[in-house]
Structure 1
Amino acid sequence: MEAPIYYSKSEFIETDTGNKVSRRATIAGPQNIILGGKTVISTGAIIRGDLRRTGPGHAVVISLGRYCLVGEGCVMRPPYKTYRGNFNYYPMKIGDHVHIGANSVVEAATIGNHVEIGKNCVIGKFTIIKDCAKIADNTVIPPNTVIPALSHFAGSPGRYVEDMPESTMEVVEARTKGYYRRFMPFEGR
């Protein structure tokens, strides 16, 4: 069994659905962010739910599924573009069991389920990452890229490296659930 990952109980807020959000994370526009449950938002992470289109039907900007991990210092902001002179933000949807490494910047349109994004990555605007993909540490994915399911990308700019094994879904799910299970408050504080 892997060792526990302790955190100071006073530093994290735990929601009714088991999300653990660092008090030192910046959650801008929380009314526009949905966390699916059992998600960990680490210290220094910035989630920009305040950047959104105005008008009816444009409320939710960023949604994360269950068992997601947003690493320390990550920046997540919705993708944007100017169309016919109007500047618009678009929603970002992130599936279940997604691990985003420390200090990565994400402006994707969609990230599927069971996806691993390494440390220090840049995921360009409107990128679509399909299920069970892996983005290596220090990878830069250009805007509008589509990462196929079960593929491994690395480099700057990010390029296809290899196919991921068929077992990727089970491996990533076990890893994200294991991390959540081991992420526990340090007693005595």
Structure 2
Amino acid sequence: MEPPIFYSKAEFIETDTGNKVSRRATIAGPQNIILGGKTIISSGAIIRGDLRRTGPGHAVVISLGRYCLVGEGCVMRPPYKTYRGNFNYYPMKIGEHVHIGTNTVVEAATIGNHVEIGKNCVIGKFTIIKDCAKIADNTIIPPNTVIPALSLFAGSPGRFIEDLPESTQEIVEAQTKQYYTRFQPLDR
């Protein structure tokens, strides 16, 4: 078993569903952000739920499933495009057991379940990442890319490197659950 990862209880807000959100994270428009439970939002992360479609009351929702980890300094903002002169944001849906590394910028449309995204990555607008995929550290995924299930992408621009084993789902699920268990308050 890996050693615990300690954090200061004063720095994190823990919700009824076990989400742990750093007080040093920026959660803009929290009413438009859905956390599935047992999700960790690290210090310095920025999640933009305050961006709107054209017109009032058209907030864009960002949803994260259970056991997600948003690393330090990550920026998550919904994808946008201009259509007939109108600037529109679109929803972002992130599945369960997703690990996003430090200092990564995400503007994906959809990220599936059991996905690992490394540190210092850029996930371009409207990217779709299928289940059980992995993005290596320092990878830049161009806008509108579809990352197939069980595939590893790396490089700048990111390209297919190899197929991942069928056991990827179990491995990633075990890693995310273990990380959540290891993430312990220093001052109980």
Query: How big is the shift at 1:187?
Result: 2.0
Aligned: 1:151 with 2:151: yes
* Cα deviation 1:3-22 (Å, max 9, x = unaligned): 00000000000000000000
Extract structure 1 runs of 4+ deviating beyond 6 A. none
Distance 2:67 2:119 in 1: 18
Query: How big is the shift at 1:55?
Result: 5.2
Q: Structure 2: which 5+ runs fail to align?
A: none
Distance 2:174 2:75 in 1: 25
Distance 1:184 1:52 in 2: 36
Distance 1:150 1:56 in 2: 40
Distance 1:58 1:52 in 2: 6
- Compute the RMSD of aligned alpha carbons: 1.2
Name the counterpart of 1:24. 24
Query: How big is the shift at 1:53?
Result: 1.5
Name the counterpart of 2:121. 121
Query: How big is the shift at 1:57?
Result: 7.9
Name the counterpart of 1:42. 42
Query: How big is the shift at 1:39?
Result: 0.1
Name the counterpart of 1:167. 167
Aligned: 1:136 with 2:136: yes
Tell me which moved more, 179-188 or 131-140.
Answer: 179-188
Identity %: 88
Count of aligned pairs between the two proteins: 188
Q: Structure 1: which 5+ runs fail to align?
A: none
Distance 2:171 2:60 in 1: 30
Contact kept? 2:60, 2:78, Cα under 8 Å: no
Distance 2:15 2:151 in 1: 34
* Cα deviation 1:34-57 (Å, max 9, x = unaligned): 000000000000000001215588
Contact kept? 2:60, 2:89, Cα under 8 Å: no
The DSSP-based 3-state class of the residue aligned with 1:66 is coil
After TM superposition, the structure 1 = structure 2 runs for residues 107-118 of structure 1, keeping only pairs within 5 Å, are 107-118=107-118
Distance 1:165 1:55 in 2: 46
Query: How big is the shift at 1:61?
Result: 1.6
The DSSP-based 3-state class of the residue aligned with 1:171 is helix
1:90 counterpart letter in structure 2: Y
The DSSP-based 3-state class of the residue aligned with 1:184 is strand
Contact kept? 1:3, 1:182, Cα under 8 Å: yes
Name the counterpart of 1:101. 101
Contact kept? 1:32, 1:60, Cα under 8 Å: yes
